[in-house]
Amino acid sequence: SLFQIDNKGNHLLVHEESSINVPAIAAAHVIKRYIAQAADELSFEVGDIVSVIDMPPKELTSWWRGKHGFQ
């Protein structure tokens, strides 16, 4: 099994078939609280770390894809 550590140092068991294993290309430090507005969005608090897995060109979209915990 694979483990991932969340932003509070907790070990999380990760299922190998899950998209959580997509490698991160960057990490983002959250400076503004955000509450998800749709099923494909993430909520996070100031100080959280989000693993960025896709940064499309900004001409295509203003959104990045990322992982936060198991989301």
Q: Which domains does the chain have, with CATH numbers?
A: 1-70 (2.30.30.40)
Q: Does the reported pTM lie above 0.75?
A: no
Average pLDDT over residues 58-65: 86
- What are the DSSP calls for the chain, one per residue? -EEEE-TTS-EEEE-TTSGGGSPPSEEEE--S-B---STT---B-TT-EEEEEE---TTT-S--EEESTT-
Tens digit of each residue's pLDDT (9 = 90 or more) over 9-44: 665 555 444 555 678 888 888 999 999 998 888 898
